[in-house]
Structure 1
Amino acid sequence: MQGQNVPVCAAIDIGSNTLRLVVARCPCPDGVLDILETDEAIVRIGESVNATGAISSEKQAHALSVLQRFKALATKHSAQTILAIATEAIRKASNRDDFLTVIQQEAGIEVHCIDGDMEATLTFYGATYELSKSAQPPAKVSVMDMGGGSTELVIAKDMQISWHTSLPIGSGVIHDRYLTADPPTEADRASARIFLHTYLTGLQLQQFPPILFATGGSANTLLILAQRAFGLDTSHAILTHEDLVRCEGLLWALSAEEIAQRYQLDTKRARIITAGVLILLSLLETFDLKEVHISSYGIREGVALAYARNGAQWLAEARQQAHNVSQATSHVNTNVEIVTYHEEFITSGRRLFLTRAETMLGWRDVVLKHEDSEAVHKMRVASRRLRAVMDAYQSICQRRPFKAVYAQIKDIADALGIARDTDVMIDTLRQQLEQASASEQAGIRWLIDGLSEYRMSHQQLLEKRLLKLDKDALLRSLKACLAEEGEKHGKG
């Protein structure tokens, strides 16, 4: 494209996992982008927000360094303006304002913290950029932006948004909550799948378009992994359900470092996509979709397109567009509305709470006998599966009873986890003892004796916790989390 007189803008997306930059010529009014440069860095701001509620000083310093690099790239291309937005992790960080002020002062970049409606709107602009240039775009299409802190879902008819929502099931959130082992365990996968299936089923979408576009770092990295690992045609940016199942198998067989080395991926990204593949598979399976189209464009290109179309008024226009869509979809039946507080959803929640709790409690007496180490493992898995279901229903639970009983179950799970991990270490050392030389055996026995003594003392603490566990009281507490049918569904 010719055009030294065409304005150049830099668009920055400060996401929960990744910071991204695109520098582009932004002509008006046709809205065609001439992309000059892109860059990104995995910072994982959401990791510290999920852990403490705030952006840590280390994450702040890392983000600031990346943004200063982005600004230098924008300057290199003579960008007249830098447009920066922040999404889910920054939205909910307790020190958000301080973080944005530091960026303004140290990097000279004004960051707009946008809400979920605007995030969905700008993502749709970007993800459908190539599609919008088609002579005959599909009548109905859906867009999924899988971020670190949230997943945006958008449904459009005739390339106009008819419905959208923001779901708290980002790849970073799922990873940090369920998939901390590397590679994740089968129990981890089961817990994450239970949560995702329960949550997505609870949305009760009546219809879902058969054509789905996914954007975001995890979706694009999964495409690259599948292409490099399974020899997929690089000219087709499509992942079938079978492709995703194969990716899942690979990610559960190898560590993130091995995945990164074999397939030339960033190690941090390789770790996060374990959650990404579960989210995509859950979405396809819940809504009976066969494949997903992967878009390399996303919210940063959406920001650049908004600027190309509206100039300095891009932010106000995007806000107005998001507001218009929100107002329209709240009054019009599009056959895709979410019925979050539907009575059947609450009833199923109460049933799942109680059945999962019964399964967990069924192992208590066996654990107390301290005769079967696998009983500890099975009770721990059952407690994690109960928490996964509770996570999925948290948004409609009564806050106080939920918080109290969730903490109680977590305390039991943590105690079981310490016991199980110690048992595994002792078993591993006993296996090593059989193969060790005479000079090594004394040291290994010393470790086994020390761990065994610790395990016995911990068994006493575990038994105290389990003996205090009142089955009937726990079940009553779980019932109290979800309002009775016919009551007002407050969160009080």
Structure 2
Amino acid sequence: MKNIVSIDLGSNSFRTLLYDGLNHKIIDEYQEVVGMADGLIDTKQISIAAQNRVIDAVKRSIEKLKYNPKDAICVTTAAMRMAENSNEVLRRFKKECGLDFKIIDGNEEARLTLLAIKYALKREKKESEHFILIDIGGGSTELIINNGNDYFAKSFDIGIVTLSQKYKNSDDLISELQRREKDILIFLDSLNIDLKNFVFVATAGTPTTIAAVKLGLNFMSYDRNIVNGTELKLNEIEHFLNKLKSLSGKELFDFVGPGRTDFIESGVLIYKTFYEVLRKNKSIVFDDGLREGVAIDYALKLTN
């Protein structure tokens, strides 16, 4: 089996993975903030500037990972689901980059992310049968309940980019998240599952950033292998939220990197909301996510 290239084009980030599908190991990766959802709430369009950033990021990823874009398995999510010009944009990407993106819905996004996390939990020798997973994205947040061989998922249209664009101050953002708690609780109540002993797992940029800071890392020294499996308690989330208010622009940039400084507060508030709704005091953080799930899924199909 030749190496697999998977690409996740999210609402804020472009993430490419070079994956050994035979041994289920990551060989190399490339990721970059591209801000696909910039202005999306107001215009309903993926802007030309955002499209250009994606194309430039693709070129840099090809240069680093040395892959043929025609061989890549490419998915894209919430921003493309929302944009009125998504088909036009994807045609441009295929013409200029050779990447053939598939827009996946929230359920497929949840399934693939869940697959990656199951592998990650087993790799870290942690509970992988009964857990709650959240994936905080730029345009949506996926909530998944894994109950043995069954899972239940729902995509909520609360993302770090879209909420930041819609609500310009913290009070309005907090009020909106408090209103959204009801929707989350309705979904959880419909499952009729006692989640008290389910492990709480979180993936995506916000959880991994907070975990990295806890471990003494910053954007430049970030190491997924160190961050994976880190436990974060609710009071550490609250401490990070308070710390944000005291950081200078440069200090914040050093922690979160380019393209994320405007959205980190909304991400932390979303994360905190799920702690409170789920009545959990701690979560386990993983860098693994959709692109890993796409690669694993493809590898499994080839071997079956």
Same-fold status (TM-score > 0.5): yes
Residue in structure 1 matching 2:63, options 37, 58, 72: 72
Larger strand share, 1 or 2: 2
- One-letter code aligned to 1:190: D
Matched with 1:82 is 72
Matched with 1:107 is 97
- One-letter code aligned to 1:245: E
Alignment of 1:12 with 2:39, yes or no, is no
After TM superposition, give the deviation of residue 193 of structure 1 in Å: 1.5
CA distance in 2, matches of 1:99, 1:77: 22
* 1:234-262 residue CA offsets vs partner (Å, 9 max, x unmatched): 6851110010001000112234433224x
Residue in structure 2 matching 1:272, options 249, 257, 263: 263
Q: SS where residue 100 of structure 1 aligns?
A: helix
Q: SS where residue 228 of structure 1 aligns?
A: coil
Alignment of 1:33 with 2:14, yes or no, is no
Matched with 1:477 is none
Q: Check the 8 A contact 1:127/1:299 in 2, yes or no.
A: no
Q: Which has the larger radius of gyration?
A: 1
* 1:192-237 residue CA offsets vs partner (Å, 9 max, x unmatched): 122112212233223545311111122211221233389xx96851
Matched with 1:221 is 209
Matched with 1:22 is 17
Alignment of 1:243 with 2:232, yes or no, is no
Q: SS where residue 289 of structure 1 aligns?
A: coil
Q: Check the 8 A contact 1:218/1:269 in 2, yes or no.
A: no
Q: Check the 8 A contact 1:154/1:161 in 2, yes or no.
A: no
Correspondence list, 1:45-444, <5 A: 45-74=36-65, 76=66, 81-133=71-123, 137-158=127-148, 160-178=149-167, 180=168, 188-203=169-184, 204=186, 205-206=188-189, 207-208=194-195, 210-228=198-216, 237-261=230-254, 263=255, 265-311=256-302
Ranges in structure 1 where 5+ consecutive residues have no aligned partner:
1-5, 181-187, 314-492
Q: Check the 8 A contact 1:43/1:63 in 2, yes or no.
A: yes
CA distance in 1, matches of 2:202, 2:122: 15
CA distance in 1, matches of 2:250, 2:270: 21
Q: SS where residue 98 of structure 1 aligns?
A: helix
Q: SS where residue 94 of structure 1 aligns?
A: coil
- One-letter code aligned to 2:214: A
Cα–Cα, structure 1 residues 98 and 257, in superposed 2: closer, same or farther, change >3 Å? same
CA distance in 1, matches of 2:147, 2:257: 37
Matched with 2:221 is none
* 1:47-105 residue CA offsets vs partner (Å, 9 max, x unmatched): 2212310011111111111112223344x267982111000001111110111001111
Cα–Cα, structure 1 residues 235 and 18, in superposed 2: closer, same or farther, change >3 Å? closer
CA distance in 1, matches of 2:90, 2:68: 24
CA distance in 2, matches of 1:108, 1:312: 26
Q: Check the 8 A contact 1:142/1:156 in 2, yes or no.
A: yes
Ranges in structure 2 where 5+ consecutive residues have no aligned partner:
219-225
CA distance in 2, matches of 1:202, 1:68: 40
Percent identity over paired residues? 24
CA distance in 1, matches of 2:279, 2:118: 22
Matched residues, number: 290
Q: SS where residue 15 of structure 2 aligns?
A: strand
CA distance in 1, matches of 2:8, 2:291: 6
Q: Check the 8 A contact 1:153/1:166 in 2, yes or no.
A: yes
Report the TM-score, using the length of structure 2 for normalisation. 0.87
CA distance in 1, matches of 2:124, 2:243: 36
CA distance in 2, matches of 1:57, 1:41: 17
- One-letter code aligned to 1:270: T
Larger helix share, 1 or 2: 1
CA distance in 2, matches of 1:136, 1:245: 25
RMSD: 2.4
Cα–Cα, structure 1 residues 33 and 256, in superposed 2: closer, same or farther, change >3 Å? farther
CA distance in 2, matches of 1:214, 1:122: 15
CA distance in 2, matches of 1:21, 1:229: 22
Q: Check the 8 A contact 1:86/1:112 in 2, yes or no.
A: yes
Q: SS where residue 303 of structure 1 aligns?
A: helix
CA distance in 2, matches of 1:200, 1:123: 23
